[in-house]
Every structure is written in structure tokens, then in C-alpha cells.
Amino acid sequence: EAGVTQSPTHLIKTRGQQATLRCSPISGHTSVYWYQQALGLGLQFLLWYDEGEERNRGNFPPRFSGRQFPNYSSELNVNALELEDSALYLCASTPGPSNTEAFFGQGTRLTVV
Amino acid sequence: KQEVTQIPAALSVPEGENLVLNCSFTDSAIYNLQWFRQDPGKGLTSLLLIQSSQREQTSGRLNASLDKSSGRSTLYIAASQPGDSATYLCAVEGSNTGKLIFGQGTTLQVKP
């Protein structure tokens, strides 16, 4: 069984551009979560999607947004990129909403230059 | 506001040693606590999940305990191996927010 897959593995963008990151959850999982792991800041919760709806978002500006598709895959969009957005972005999935074991993908390394 | 702390930040031990990693959290109203492993530049691998009603979980050489009332969890690794070298993270999920709150991690080095 395939785990959580993320694409691309690496992404290099220029300040001010937009970045789109993609995530495919484990088959049968309906909830998808996005986290940011910036150097020295630890893992920070970004967004939670379940059944196509945004259920919760962390303390990030509105230029961080996303969506979940009918097949439960998800994408994270970051607009007007800033140098501080450089980080490892991790996606996780669970079988349903909360209180279950979370499985993470390998992440997308976003570098803003 | 929930805060998660992991001690020590780094640990270096010789191969074969048994070791304990500590995790503490400030708000005991949690749904569950999960331990993860992260290799450098990689994603997280789930090790153990402890529901709030449970006291411990075991998987192979790993044993995790949970004391909700005192806000503590420990991850016990038996007979450590060089392949165990990684950063270990604990995370708690509170009420139905879908949000895991992570500690800063303990970076473990097991020397051959």
C-alpha cells in the first residue's frame, strides 16, 4: 500500500512568485494536514482539510491557502513568496477527522531566493 | 495554550544501551500523543500512538508511556542500534482541532 506522496520533492522559487505543492493521501484516508518545518522553528500546523472542506488553519497569513479535491488529494498554494517561506512542507493524512494515527509524506523542500 | 517540551535536545550513546526520551505537555486535555522519527531532511515516520485512555504502547524495541495527569510521556528504546540515530519528535492532539502540537525533538546518535 502506497504511503502519503508529495510532489515535487524540491522547489526553487523567486521572491514574489507563487508555489504550488501537492499531496496524495493514503488510500481511504479522507483528512489531509499541512505542516511547515522551518529551520529552528520546529513543526508548525498550517491547514486541515476533511471531505473537501477546510476544517482548521494555523497562525499563518492568508497568502497560504489550499484545497482538497474529490479524490481527497490536496494542494497547498503559497502566494507572494517571501524568503522566510523557505522550509520543508509536510503533508499528513488520517482515516478520518482527528484522534487517529497520522502518517506523513517525505515533504517538499521549498527554497525562496 | 498547549506547549510541548522534549528533554534532552540531543543525546549520544554507545550501541546496545537502553535509553529514555522525555516529553512533557502543559495541558492534560489531550486526545492522544504520538511519537515520530525523522531522519535528516526527510518526512516523519510514525512510531507509536497512545490514546488518552491508554497508559502505554509497545512496538518491537520501543515502549511509550503516557501519564496524562502529570503531562508526561516517555519513549524507551531498548538495545539501541546505530540505525536508531535520528530525531525523535512527540506530538499531542488536543480537542477536535486536527492539529498536532510538536515538541522540538531529541536528536539521538548511537555510536557503533
Predicted pLDDT at B96: 74
Which amino acid is it at A13?
K
Amino acid letter, residue B75:
L
Contact B105 A42 (CB under 8 A): yes
What is the model's pLDDT at position A85?
Answer: 97
To the nearest whole Å, the CA of B87 is away from the closest chain A CA by 12
Q: What are phi and psi of A106, to 5 degrees?
A: -85, -10
Question: Which grid cell sits at B105?
Answer: 525533538
pLDDT in tens, B7-47: 999 999 999 999 999 999 999 999 999 999 999 989 999 99
Q: Closest CB to A33: pick one of B98, B103, B104.
A: B98
Q: Any idea of the CA torsion for A51, A55, A56, A57, to the nearest 10 degrees?
A: 60
Block mean pLDDT (10 aa), chain A, length 113: 93 98 96 94 94 94 97 98 97 87 96 98
Mean residue pLDDT of chain B comes to 95
Percent of chain B beyond pLDDT 70?
100
